[in-house]
Amino acid sequence: MFLDLFYGLREAGVPVAIQEWMALVQALEKGLHGSSLLRFYHVARVCLVKSETYYDAFDRVFARVFKGVEGSLDITDEVMEWLRDPRNFPGLTPEQMAQLERLTSDELMRRFLETLAEQNERHDGGGRWVGTGGRSPFGHGGQHPTGIRVGGTSRNRSAMKVAEERHFEDYRTDVSYDVRQMRVALKKLRHLTRAGQASELDLDETIDETCRNAGEIELVFRPPRRNNVRLLLMMDVGGTMDPYFEPVSSLLTALHEEHGLREFKAVYFHNCVYDVVHTSASMSASDELPTGDLLRRLDERWKLLVVGDAAMHPAELMEPYGNIDPRRTSATPGIDWLHQLSDHFLRTAWLNPDEPRLWQHSHTVRLIRRLFPMYHLSVEGVAEAVNALVGARVAKAA
Amino acid sequence: MADSNGFYQFTGTAGYIASEPLVDAVNCALALERPLLIKGEPGTGKTLLASHVAESLGMPMESWHIKSTTKGADGLYVYDTVQRLNDSRFGSGDVSDIRHYIKLGPLGRVFAAGERQVLLIDEVDKADIEFPNDLLRELDEMRFTITETGEEVAAKHRPMVIITSNNEKELPDAFLRRCVFHFIEFPESEMMKQIVDVHHGNLDATLLDQVLIKFYWLREQNELRKKPSTSELIDWIAALLKSGISHEQLEAHIPFMGALLKNEQDTDALRGYDDRGGTLPAKWSDLGPRYNQ
């Protein structure tokens, strides 16, 4: 049953590893769950779940695994027998806890249930438990001298009810990829230079100068290091790109807000870049920005990062008036604009959310790959794209 | 207090109403000697928790407030080179002993203390994304070495570490694995009444009902960018009490909106609601099934 919980959580996508599991076993050993399933629920959640976004999954799994445990804790013959003949379980030391399999066997579960059952029993005046287990894994003795009935008394809300209420449904996120790792990758998007006001004490220089000055202190200051990267993000929005919009833009905006970049600009397009792009993702007429203006305003030192699936009807890319949106026709074909972009900026990269193996099947992706180094929108892909933008210079793809 | 099982047990204090799951979480962290990571909406008492845990357990407390520029090493110790340089120039202080210029940070002081202490690491997500990784070993083994002297600072008593996060950044997995975690849920109306009672005792029950109805209604409004939190509620009640407003007056409108909504767009959004002729709820039953169980 315990293992059901463990594997159930893993199946539900909750990242539970041995370390979390050990914490729970250790907590049970210390008797933290007392003798109520609700407190066991609290303790298990505290130990196993590390983000409120998984609380809902935890509730579901917990409710499934422990369904029927609560309230049906009549002492079975088997358990009675066990109580009469308590086998000697060795004390659970931290070393033994490494033996996960052993500890999470049904035996432990049974003993857990028995401690719960014991509370019921004690209510009726029994006291058999006392004296049998000098070292119960649940640290039972004396902890709850009054005995709290398991489940469904007015004082305690029942664990099952709490779990089934699924309070935390709103906190779920189903974003599948690892935002944190990508942010770590994006942090490398920097080119540190010293510029601006000298406000940082240069210790080595200070000591050198002080010595040269015969011990008279000479403080030397230098400007702090600052990121010198200017990033232009061009993002395909709408249609198939919708699921990627939120995570990517928040990723880069957050990066900028952490003062990671010297300058940051985001513009949006649909399917392909034509003679206007948009400064907001809603792409209304009021926020149009001529692509030509953009190129005039930003010099070649800006890094261009395009995020899009690059898959479209060939006519949208190659032909004049190819824009899929009839309100925004453009005499210049999209491919010409892409050419201009790739020629204008020294460093460019294209992130594609589609699987790389699909790329060769799309004619337009093949064409665009000739202009921009293309990477998969994944942790590794982002790292490679960052390298293409700020890493050691390599010959530009023909 | 230490109970018969030999570990400390937290129960909440007169000034802090802790929910059952939170009490269990704190006790779990105490017993396992692992850091407790607390998340939750702003204003749900994450930071306050530490001082009340300290009070309840009778332990001294040390706080380390994290800023965007905080480095992991700052918490351990700082080597004050400039002071030493200065002393050597002017012949003051004992320059020959480097130890005089090593100042322990909050983490270092807690480790070096002779008794078990509570350490609050506040808003860990404010710092650089790599910051938590820099503290892994220190939090795990509760020891570190001062490179300049080769001395080791090891905790004689593993401190109770409480870490708060506002979820601005994801924390690394390796860091999470070492912590136990609790998310403070926003208090429900019954618990909120207890919390209000701690701050404003003997409040008229009908007035309190009106206050909470308006408060929870506000929190249900999706247009709001920043939902009012407990601390704002407490301030608002203080303002209401000062002005002597009666519960009848509260029924139809929300005075002192500024205490609850801190953002211009939010105030505008609500003013718009008034202008459109929207009515404010006056009874719990107006709020929907969630509040009427």
User: Domains plus CATH for chain A?
Assistant: 2-171 (no CATH), 179-191+228-390 (3.40.50)
Judge whether B176 is closer than 8 Å to chain A, CB to CB.
yes
CA–CA separation, A339 vs A343, rounded Å? 6
Domain boundaries, chain B: 20-68+107-184, 189-291
pLDDT of amino acid A174: 42
CA–CA separation, B60 vs B46, rounded Å? 18
CATH class of the region B20-68+107-184? alpha beta
CA–CA separation, A55 vs A241, rounded Å? 29
Question: Can you tell me the mean pLDDT for B211-234?
Answer: 84
Q: DSSP states of A346-393 as a string?
A: SEEEEEE-S-HHHHTT-HHHHHHHHHS-EEESSHHHHHHHHHHHHSS-
Q: Inform me whether the pLDDT recorded for B113 exceeds 60.
A: yes
Q: Inform me whether the pLDDT recorded for B38 exceeds 90.
A: yes
pLDDT of amino acid A351: 87
Q: What letters, b where the CB count within 10 A reaches 16 and e where it falls short, cover A85-112?
A: eeeeeeebeeeebeeeeebbeeebbebb
- The predicted-structure confidence for B68-112, as pLDDT tens digits, reads as follows 788 888 889 988 888 888 887 787 777 788 888 889 999 999 998
Q: Which of residues 73-102 of B touch A (CB under 8 A)?
A: 81-82, 85-86, 88-89
Q: What letters, b where the CB count within 10 A reaches 16 and e where it falls short, cover B54-83?
A: bbbbebebbebebeeebebbbbbbebeeee
Q: Which residue positions in chain A have pLDDT lower than 50?
A: 70-105, 119-157, 173-177, 396-398
pLDDT of amino acid A89: 32
Picking from B28, B36, B49, the residue whose alpha carbon sits closest to that of residue B179 is B36
Partner residues linked to B104 by β-bridges = B77
Q: Per the confidence metrics, is the pTM higher than 0.80?
A: no
- With beta carbons less than 8 A apart as the criterion, state whether A352 and A308 touch: yes
pLDDT of amino acid A109: 54
pLDDT of amino acid A329: 63
pLDDT of amino acid A259: 59
- The predicted-structure confidence for B250-284, as pLDDT tens digits, reads as follows 777 788 888 888 777 778 877 777 777 677 777 77
pLDDT of amino acid A180: 65
- With beta carbons less than 8 A apart as the criterion, state whether B184 and B38 touch: yes
Judge whether A20 is closer than 8 Å to chain B, CB to CB.
yes
Q: Inform me whether the pLDDT recorded for B200 exceeds 90.
A: no
CA–CA separation, B262 vs B260, rounded Å? 6
Q: Bigger pLDDT: A122 or B40? A: B40
Q: Inform me whether the pLDDT recorded for B5 exceeds 50.
A: no
Check B177 against A55: CB less than 8 A apart.
Answer: no
CA–CA separation, A335 vs A274, rounded Å? 9
pLDDT of amino acid A119: 45
Kindly report which listed range (A145-154, A324-333, B16-25, B169-178) carries the lowest average pLDDT score.
A145-154
Which residues from B are below 8 Å from A31, CB to CB?
A: 5
Check A167 against B185: CB less than 8 A apart.
Answer: yes
Confidence of residue B163 (pLDDT cuts 50, 70, 90): very high
Q: Inform me whether the pLDDT recorded for B120 exceeds 90.
A: yes
Which residues from A are below 8 Å from B95, CB to CB?
A: none
Partner residues linked to A221 by β-bridges = A201
Phi/psi at A153 (nearest 5 deg)?
-85, 170
Q: Inform me whether the pLDDT recorded for B1 exceeds 70.
A: no
Confidence of residue B161 (pLDDT cuts 50, 70, 90): very high
CA–CA separation, A223 vs B273, rounded Å? 51
CB neighbourhood size of A213 (10 A): 11
pLDDT of amino acid A77: 37
Determine the residue of chain A that is closest to B167 in CA distance: A51
Kindly report which listed range (A308-312, B31-35, B156-160) carries the lowest average pLDDT score.
A308-312
